[in-house]
């Protein structure tokens, strides 16, 4: 039986800087693409959803730079990256 909530372990483990870059940049890039598509589908620059997407794109680009710097530091100093990422899904009744 399917419940109304679900917790998914999306990423769990130790990664070399190269592997971490591949995993993390793929996720961030896909989210940026998603928000770009949302904005294109709305067509109106003043749509509140477009403002949300534009804000999220800006935040994600900033986080991508932070992650890049962390990965470069790990590579240069001989570290692995331990990454845990989960997704929580909750069903919500549409009004």
With respect to residue 77, please indicate whether it lies within any of the assigned structural domains: yes
pLDDT tens, 39-64?
888 765 556 667 888 999 999 999 99
pTM for the model: 0.83
Domain count, the chain: 1
What CA–CA distances, in Å, run from 67 to 2, 18, 85?
35, 12, 14
With respect to residue 11, please indicate whether it lies within any of the assigned structural domains: no
With respect to residue 78, please indicate whether it lies within any of the assigned structural domains: yes
Sequence-separated (6 or more) residues with CB below 8 Å from residue 10: 85, 86, 87
With respect to residue 92, please indicate whether it lies within any of the assigned structural domains: no
With respect to residue 45, please indicate whether it lies within any of the assigned structural domains: yes
Output 46 or 6, whichever has higher pLDDT.
6
What integer pLDDT is reported at residue 1 of this predicted model? 66
With respect to residue 94, please indicate whether it lies within any of the assigned structural domains: no
Map tokens 């994600």 to a residue: 60
Domain interval for residue 50: 18-82
């Amino acid at each position: 039986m399917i419940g109304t909530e679900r917790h998914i372990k999306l990423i769990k483990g130790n990664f070399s800087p190269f592997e971490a870059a591949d995993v993390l940049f793929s996720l961030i890039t896909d989210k940026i693409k998603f928000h770009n598509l949302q904005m294109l589908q709305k067509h109106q620059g003043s749509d509140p959803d477009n403002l949300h997407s534009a804000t999220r794109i800006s935040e994600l680009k900033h986080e991508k730079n932070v992650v890049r710097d962390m990965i470069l530091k790990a590579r240069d100093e001989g570290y692995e990256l331990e990454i845990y990422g989960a997704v929580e899904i909750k069903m919500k009744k549409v009004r």
